[in-house]
Structure 1
């Protein structure tokens, strides 16, 4: 399919709304997705840390998208959502979207890491929102790597619960990190703390899940990166 990739400033509000309604909402359960109002407010705010790319077909219809959150203090970009419209998955749109957006984000932000969240297929079965096995195979083919930490998505709303059983993956890292298969633990620690604060507003020192996550990151100065195929066995 002939598609065009546009950033959030190159499309109008109607297409950004279509990205949420027609691509993101059918691809993620409500517990994993910010509200429509929150998404549109963030992605249209010129000083927001939210950024996005939208995939348009030859007629200008929205067929996919990727949304990122830039954490300037730790210089990490979280690719929080990657999705293709139902009925068009598996046709190469996602691969093109990820490849181009990562290249452009790397040039724009000069991050230390670009990371993403994905459901662990050992925990989450395939549902109407998508197939975790297929997603992980796609990311494996793109060269993404997994950080072996007990990751969870922080609660996105005051009344929401955390989303557990997720994998934290590295889409892009500095050439030195990629070459030796490790990342700086202090960078990962900074991201985890900033993400928790942004979503939940505080870090409870007595929280067992946070404690387990911190312990995994604090074991050494560097954290190994593992191939996603290890989680598909």
Structure 2
């Protein structure tokens, strides 16, 4: 698949490995980035879809992935080579990924994760959460009012506290005046936690997150109102890491 703007599906393992090392590794802390073999296995199995755009030299220099958790799709690992930032490539990739999820995956909800500027400051390597949230606000993101944290990548792995779970798109059937229907999101969250961490934990952070989604409707807020969102702060060893095997 290639769109008119030059975004292509990553089919070849060599292309994937190249962009993983050159673009993904410098863009994410090691504990937030799955190993290439795991990601490629998910791509080969059809549950994860990876797309990339080429830079001026013809080499892939940006990437985005979409995980299919029907009826929810999760946009992951948006990364741009530093030489290509500010060119509009990130916006094109997000729009492409969102449209792909809604059209091809028939997702009722399209979500993305972003650090909360209320808890995370600028980093010399990984960027400024405020700028990142402004970027997503321009893409129309609204925030789910749930105390979200990024699950650990594997049993016992560290979690990332105080992330925001943003809604990039939602079909009319799941929208309400107060927000969006919550039961499919609660089901998604349980399966996502199990897939990431190995099993569903009974720690306080997991209980708080699921309690926020175990209701008829979860409200959404504009991205600029991130301070009003319940934050997924983590306290103690039982919350800061995925449950042990």
TM-score, normalisation: structure 2: 0.85
Deviations 1:107-159 (CA, angstroms, capped at 9, x unpaired):
11101111111111111111111221111101101101100111011110334
Counterpart check, 1:14 vs 2:7:
no
Q: Give 1:141's match in structure 2, choosing from 135, 138, 141.
A: 138
Larger deviation: 15-24 or 113-122?
A: 15-24
Pairing partner for 1:223 from 218, 226, 229 = 218
1:29 deviation in Å? 0.7
Instruction: Indicate if the aligned counterparts of 1:112 and 1:173 stay in contact, CA closer than 8 A.
Output: yes
Residue correspondence of structure 1 range 109-120 to structure 2 within 5 A = 109-120=105-116
Shift of 1:105: 2.4
Q: Which runs of 5+ in 1 are unaligned?
A: none
Of residues 179-188 and 20-29 in structure 1, the stretch that sits farther from structure 2 once superposed is 179-188
> Retained in 2: the 8 A contact 1:124–1:132?
yes
Structure 1 SS opposite 2:221 = coil
Paired residue for 2:193?
196
Q: How does 1:159-198 map to 2 (within 5 A)?
A: 159-177=156-174, 180=177, 182-198=179-195
Counterpart in the other structure of 2:40: 40
Aligned to 1:116, the other structure's residue is in SS state strand
Contact 1:143 1:171 in 2 (8 A): yes
Paired with 2:132 and 2:175, the residues of 1 have a C-alpha distance of 21
**Closer/same/farther in 2, CA of residues 54 and 230 from structure 1, 3 Å limit:** same
1:16-44 Cα distance to aligned partner (Å, 9 max, x none):
1122112211111111110122223333x
**Aligned length, in residue pairs:** 224
Q: Which residue of 1 aligns with 2:117?
A: 121
Please say if residues 26 and 86 of structure 1, whose CA atoms lie closer than 8 Å, have aligned partners that are also in contact. Answer: no
**Contact kept? 2:178, 2:217, Cα under 8 Å:** no
SS across alignment from 1:99: helix
State yes or no: 1:153 paired with 2:145.
no
Q: Following the alignment from structure 2 to structure 1, what is the Cα–Cα distance between the partners of residues 193 and 185?
A: 12
Give the secondary structure class of the aligned counterpart of 1:164.
Answer: coil
Question: What does 1:19-30 align with in structure 2 at a 5 Å threshold?
Answer: 19-30=19-30
1:60 alignment counterpart: 58
Aligned equivalents of 1:86, 1:181: Cα separation in 2:
39
- Bigger shift: residues 193-202 or 87-96: 87-96
Q: Which moved more, 1:32-41 or 1:195-204?
A: 32-41
